[in-house]
Amino acid sequence: MQKEKVFVVSEKSLKLVRLIGSFMVFGALILIFQQVAIMFDTWDGIKEYPKCMAGYRAYISDDNADPLIAQLKYNNCNDYLYKKTNIVLAPGNTSLSGKQLFLVFIRPVVGIFFWAVVFFIGILLYNCRRLSFLMEESIHERIKKRKK
């Protein structure tokens, strides 16, 4: 024998699901804008890195270049790249590989898609008037044997 139970999360008068949906929509919008800002900031950092390294190469091509200042310029460019993209280049490397560029560009895009999914789930919850889950419960009947 099976009994069916209905677990009601929200009814028309309570609007708890609608409140949760509105918070999800608001939070997802904020985080989508954050991911877009991170994406543009990262792309600006990648565009500035070759200019920084060009300045480093121009400095070390000079005959009177101080090695400590050259190392400081190189570290400054790599620190700038790390702060903008969270990518660390190998020592002596002055350019990003294709794999590193792909990782830098794909991270914010994946974040935008994730928060877009959360946004649409929030829209679904906000437009939901009543939310209930059907739960089945099985009851095993015990047959009692009567002694005669």
Q: Give the total number of structural domains in the chain.
A: 1
Give 134 or 39, the one with higher predicted confidence.
39
Give domain status of residue 144, yes or no: no
Distance CA 35, CA 113 (A): 10
pLDDT: which is higher, 101 or 143: 101
Q: Is the dihedral of CA 10, 14, 18, 20 positive or negative?
A: negative
pLDDT value, residue 129: 67
pLDDT of amino acid 16: 79
**CA-based torsion, 125, 128, 130, 136: positive or negative:** negative
The answer to whether position 146 is within a domain reads no
Containing domain of residue 111, as a range?
A: 2-138
Q: Which residue has the tokens 């000079």?
A: 62
Residue 93 lies in a domain: yes
Residue 143 located in a structural domain: no
Question: What are the pLDDT digits (tens) for 43-67?
Answer: 998 999 989 988 888 888 888 888 8
Residue 145 lies in a domain: no
Find the helix or strand (DSSP H, E) in which 94 lies.
Answer: none
